[in-house]
Amino acid sequence: MQYSGSRILIEGLIEQGVDTVFGYPGGAVLFIYDELYKQRDRIRHILVSHEQHAAHAADGYARSTGKVGVCIATSGPGATNLITGIATAGMDSVPLVAITGNVSTGLLGKDSFQEVDIAGISMPVVKHNWIVKKVDELAEVIREAFIVAQSGRPGPVLIDIPKDISALTAEWTPGKKSDRKKKAGPDDVFSARAKRLALRNERLTYTDEDIENAAKMLKEAKRPVLYAGGGVIIAGAGDELTQLAERLNAPVALSLMGIGAIPGDHKLCTGLIGMHGTVASNKAVQKADLLVAIGARFSDRVTSRADMFAKTAKILHLDIDAAEINKNIDTTASVVGDVKETLIKILDKLPSKVATEWNGEIEKWKTHMPTTYTAAAQSDGIRKTALHPRFVIEETAKKLGHDTIAVTDVGQHQIWAAQFFPARKPRSFLSSGGLGTMGFGMGAAEGAKVANPKRPVVLFTGDGCFRMNCAEMGTLKTYSIPVLIVVFDNSTLGMVRQWQNFFYEGRYSETDLPGHPDFVKLADAYGLSAYRATDRDSFLKVLDAASADIAAGKAALIDAKIDKDEKVFPMVPTGRPIDEQIL
């Protein structure tokens, strides 16, 4: 069948199981958008308010499902607007295919209108990218892109399609959807290169000796700690992580990306580790004789002062990415491979119970939780009823139910949500971890909701972040995407203010936000239901109303007024060991 490049692109996406793409049109992608119009009964397009939100929405779609997210932008500024979202996905190992238009092949490299070298710009933040200069190569590039995005450690890729390539025709031969768990078979219409990419997944990177050594270290440990990262969730290894913890009676500390890898209310889950980690997680790691890092990369937000991190422990590192071994922390031993697969093999080598010697220390440390409603605990009657982030998050979670997906932007509210949102299963807590992208939340929340129409989705955001992406309310309204938005409104950049308070003698340089809009009126202007809460009673009332809106299929916003000087605790000052916390 002779198809245009645009038709080949759409057929290729459908072949890969794509049902939704997020994007914004422009001159260089008009042929593609014309084909999207023709094929609109087979593939859905969500028009966002800004290309960055397209990337974040595709990211949220991918994080909440494990499938590849797809976004589209035009050439030049459209393509560059995707970069922050692509980098966000890259830092957190999210499978994403970004498609950009470009000027026609004959105009490439001539500083043509709306031309940039997007391949060169994106190279540091993608796993791979392609410039398609021959239309008969487009189908194989699409297949390769999905293999690369999903294989090994997942991540974003980019396909750049010049305008003339989207209009020229070539033969289209349907193939099978790529499967990163299986090597390419004889019926798959793949090029030799694509087959090599698929076969790469079958290559073992660990040995039987690695498995035996890991099991031996676990059997000998007296104070083991498991440190679980986002790789556990990506690999679908939550059950295996929980089994290992229970056999060892070992505490499980979670990175921000690892939240949900083990149920938050499990007796062995000690919560967040690192700069804003719990007392239990941080002390356990510093007292451990064996630290088992699983699908985690020893970020500086976890280790703080690396030379004082887990000094009494041997380090066993399980990860799919060999480049992470010994990158930030020197390890005693490692197993490189899919962590679900390697955990299963290690569990086979262990007895049903391994005796350890924690002797109640973990339970004692777990009582040191950031429970105080600091601003609300002051003596006068008005302050006693003031809103506290913990109250807001916990009550919202209760109202929406156990199946809720929580999405955050970046800042104080992000850490409060990490501490207090009861994530009981994987892919229920979505946040920009590695890049820390303010403005991530709205796009990611809409992507998560589109991908999970039967699950409640709540966005916890701050007023600073929300100002960056509030135009995306228009998308929620247009497509009837029922996301609940909870804005922690303290008229300041809260996390920056907290640092200025602790370490810059209270010089609040450019952190106050006196000019932000009335968010209730703004939401109303976009046609969303909107409510304001100033104390606990009013919050519970508006939460009931907003929940009714969500149940009716409409997005809603709650502007929750909190104290400007409410702080995130615990906190490890920069350059200090993680057990030296401000409580």
Q: Hey, which residues are catalytic here?
A: 51, 113-114, 163, 495
**DSSP code per residue over 321-337:** -GGGTTTSS--SEEEES
429-430 and 405-408 beta bridge pairing: parallel
3-state secondary structure 135-148: HHHHHHHHHHHHHH
Cα–Cα distance measured from residue 546 to residue 202, given in angstroms and rounded to the nearest whole number: 48
Residues 6+ apart with CB under 8 A from 104: 162, 163, 164
Cα–Cα distance measured from residue 6 to residue 31, given in angstroms and rounded to the nearest whole number: 6
Which tokens go with 490? 């303290």
Which tokens go with 559? 């502007």
Per DSSP, helices labelled H in 479-533 are 494-503, 519-525
| Sheet strand arrangement including 314-319 | 269-272, 252-254, 224-228, 290-294, 314-319, 333-336
Cα–Cα distance measured from residue 198 to residue 152, given in angstroms and rounded to the nearest whole number: 10
Which residues share a beta bridge with 102?
162
Secondary structure percentages of the chain, helix, strand, coil, to 5: 45, 15, 40
Give the other-Cβ count within 10 Å of 63's Cβ: 31
* Contact between 150 and 68 (Cβ < 8 Å): yes
Classify the phi-psi angles of 465: left when phi > 0, otherwise alpha if psi is within -120 to 50, otherwise beta. alpha
Cα–Cα distance measured from residue 430 to residue 55, given in angstroms and rounded to the nearest whole number: 14
* Contact between 71 and 83 (Cβ < 8 Å): no
CA 188 to chain centroid, in Å, comes to 31
Omega of the bond prior to 570 within 30 degrees of 0, cis?
yes
* Contact between 228 and 295 (Cβ < 8 Å): yes
Classify the phi-psi angles of 514: left when phi > 0, otherwise alpha if psi is within -120 to 50, otherwise beta. alpha
Smallest CA-to-CA distance from 528 within 488, 561, 482 is with: 482
